[in-house]
Chain A
Amino acid sequence: MSAVLVAILVLLSLAIIFGLILGYAAVQFKVEGNPIVDQIDDILPQTQCGQCGYPGCRPYAEAIANGEAINKCPPGGQTTIEALADLLDVEAVALDAEHGEESVKTVAYIREDECIGCTKCIQACPVDAILGAAKQMHTVIVSECTGCDLCVEPCPVDCIDMLPIETTLNNWKWTPPVPGIELIATDTGYSSDPLSSEQALNKQALNKQASSKEKAVS
Chain B
Amino acid sequence: MSKIFAFHGGIHPPENKKQSTRAPIRLAPVPEQLVIPVQQHIGAPAKPCVKPGEHVLKGQVIAVAQGRISVSVHASSSGTIVEISPKAVPHPSGLDATCITIQTDGKDLWTEHQGLGDYRALERSSIIDFIRNHGIAGMGGAGFPTDVKLHLGDDHIVNTLIINAAECEPYITADDMLIRERADQIVGGIEIISYLLNPTHILIGIEDNKAHAIRVLEEALRSTTLNIDIVVVPTKYPSGGEKQLVQLLTGVEVPSGRIPADVGIVCQNVGTAAAIYQAVQHGIPLISRVVTVTGAAVSKPQNLEALIGTPLKTLLDTAKIKRDQLSRLVMGGPMMGFTIEDDGIPVIKTSNCIIAATQEEMPPAPPAQACIRCGLCEQACPAELLPQQLYWFAKSREFDKAKNHNLFDCIECGACSYVCPSNIPLVQYYRFAKNEIRTEEAEQRKADQARQRFEARQARLDQEKADKEARRKDRAVQAAKTQAAKKTATEAAEANPEDKIKQLKTAAAITRTKLKKALTALETAKVESSDNIAQLDLQYQQAEHAANDAQKALESAEQNPPPSLTIAPDIKQLKTQAAVARTKLKKAQQALKIAEEKSHDGAELLRVTVAQLEEKAKSAQKAFDNVDENAAHNSAAQETLPKEAALNAIDLKALKQNVSIMRTKLKKAEKAMELTEASSPEATELEQEISRLTQLHQQAKTQLDNEEARKTSIAAAQGVDLKKLKIDAALARAAVTKLERSIKKLQETAEPELNSPELDKLQSELAAAQQKATLLNNTLSQFE
With A169-B39, A177-B425 known to touch, is A182 a contact of B370 (CB < 8 Å)?
yes
B370 engages A181 (CB within 8 Å): yes
- Chain A residues whose C-beta falls within 8 Å of the C-beta of B91 in the assembled complex: 169, 172
Docked-complex contact B448 and A46, CB < 8 angstroms: yes
CA distance A144 to B395 in the complex (A): 32
Q: Indicate whether A162 reaches chain B with its CB closer than 8 angstroms.
A: no
The reply to whether A126 and B454 contact each other, CB–CB distance below 8 Å, is yes
- B314 → chain A closest CB, angstroms: 24
Asked if residues B92 and A48 are in contact (CB atoms below 8 Å), the reply is: no
Is A45's beta carbon under 8 Å from chain B?
yes
The winner among A44, A56, A127, A186 for most chain B CB atoms within 10 A is: A127
Task: Say whether A175 faces chain B, with CB atoms less than 8 Å apart.
Answer: yes
Query: Does A184 belong to the interface (CB within 8 Å)?
Result: yes
CB distance from A110 to the nearest CB of B (A): 18
List, in ascending order, chain B residues with CB within 8 A of A172's CB: 91, 93, 95
Chain A residues contacting B423 (CB-CB under 8 Å) are 180
Closest to B450 in A: A46
Could you tell me the distance in whole angstroms from the C-beta of B130 to the nearest C-beta in chain A?
28
Q: Considering the chains assembled together, what is the distance between the CA atoms of A11 and B439 in angstroms?
A: 57
Binds A, one of B262-270, B427-435, B504-512, B545-553: B427-435
Per-position 1/0 for B154-198, Cβ under 8 A of A: 000000000000000000000000000000000000000000000
Contact B370 A168 (CB under 8 A): no
Tell yes or no: B422 within 8 A of A by CB.
yes
Residues of B within 8 A of A189 (CB): 392, 395-397
B435 touches which of A58, A128, A173, A184 (Cβ 8 Å): A173
With A174-B431, A176-B432 known as contacts, the answer to whether A184 contacts B454 (CB < 8 A) is no
Interchain CB contact under 8 A, A48 and B395: no
Enumerate chain B residues within 8 angstroms of A178, measured Cβ to Cβ: 368
Please report which residues of chain B, range 78-132, place their CB below 8 angstroms from some CB of chain A when the two chains form the complex.
89, 91-93, 95, 97
Supposing A126-B454, A189-B395 touch, asked if A169 and B89 sit within 8 A by C-beta, the answer is yes
Instruction: Number of B interface residues at 8 Å Cβ cutoff, please give it.
Output: 40
B460 to chain A, nearest CB (A): 8
* Contact between A46 and B396, CB atoms less than 8 A apart: no
CB distance from A129 to the nearest CB of B (A): 7
Q: Are the CB atoms of B395 and A167 closer together than 8 Å?
A: no
Residues in B whose Cβ lies below 8 Å from that of A175 = 432
Please tell me if A57 contacts chain B, counting CB pairs below 8 Å: yes
Report whether over half of chain B's contact residues are helix, strand or loop; otherwise say mixed.
helix
Residues in A with CB closer than 8 Å to B450 are 46-48, 127, 144, 146
B685 located at the interface, meaning its Cβ lies under 8 Å from any Cβ of chain A in the complex:
no
> Are A177 and B449 neighbours in the complex by a CB distance under 8 Å?
no
Chain A residues with CB below 8 A from B451, complex form: 41, 46, 57-58
Q: Does A25 count as interface, using CB distance less than 8 angstroms?
A: no
Which of chain A's residues have a CB closer than 8 A to the CB of B369? 180-181, 183
Nearest residue (CB) in B for A48 is: B454
A144 near B449 with CB under 8 A, answer: yes
Q: A167-B95, A189-B392 are in contact. Are A128 and B457 (CB under 8 A)?
A: yes
Q: Is the CB of B95 within 8 A of A169?
A: yes
**Residues of B with C-beta under 8 A to A56:** 454, 458
Q: Is the CB of A169 within 8 A of B457?
A: no
Does B443 make an interface contact (CB < 8 A)?
yes
- Judge if A179 is at the interface, Cβ distance under 8 Å: yes
Q: Give the residues in chain A near B92, CB-CB below 8 Å.
A: 174
Using Cβ atoms and an 8 Å threshold, which residues of chain B touch A47? Answer: 450
Taken residue by residue from 8 to 47, chain B's Cβ proximity to chain A (1 for < 8 Å, 0 otherwise) reads as 0000000000000000000000000000000100000000
- Interface 1/0 per residue, B355-395 and A, CB below 8 Å: 00000000000011111000000000000000000001001
Contact with B along A9-50 (1 / 0, CB 8 A): 000000000000000000000000000000001001111100
Check B371–A187 contact: CB distance below 8 A.
yes
A176: chain B residues within 8 A (beta carbon): 428-429, 432
Q: Does chain A have a CB within 8 A of B453?
A: yes
Cβ contacts A128-164/B at 8 Å (1 or 0 each): 1100000000000000101000000000000000000
Q: B234: shortest Cβ distance to chain A, in Å? A: 32
Binding site for A on B (CB under 8 A): 39, 89, 91-93, 95, 97, 367-371, 392, 395-397, 422-425, 428-429, 431-432, 435-436, 439-440, 443, 446-451, 453-454, 456-458
Q: Which 7 A-B pairs have the closest CB atoms?
A: A180-B368, A189-B396, A46-B447, A183-B370, A177-B428, A46-B450, A127-B453
5 A-B pairs whose Cβ atoms sit less than 8 Å apart in the complex:
A79-B440, A169-B93, A173-B432, A174-B435, A181-B368
Chain A interface residues toward B at CB < 8 A:
41, 44-48, 56-58, 79, 126-129, 144, 146, 167-169, 171-184, 186-187, 189-190
Task: List 17 extra interface pairs beyond A57-B451, A168-B95, A187-B370, CB under 8 A.
Answer: A44-B447, A46-B447, A46-B450, A46-B454, A56-B454, A144-B449, A167-B95, A171-B439, A173-B435, A174-B431, A174-B432, A177-B425, A177-B428, A180-B368, A180-B422, A187-B371, A189-B392
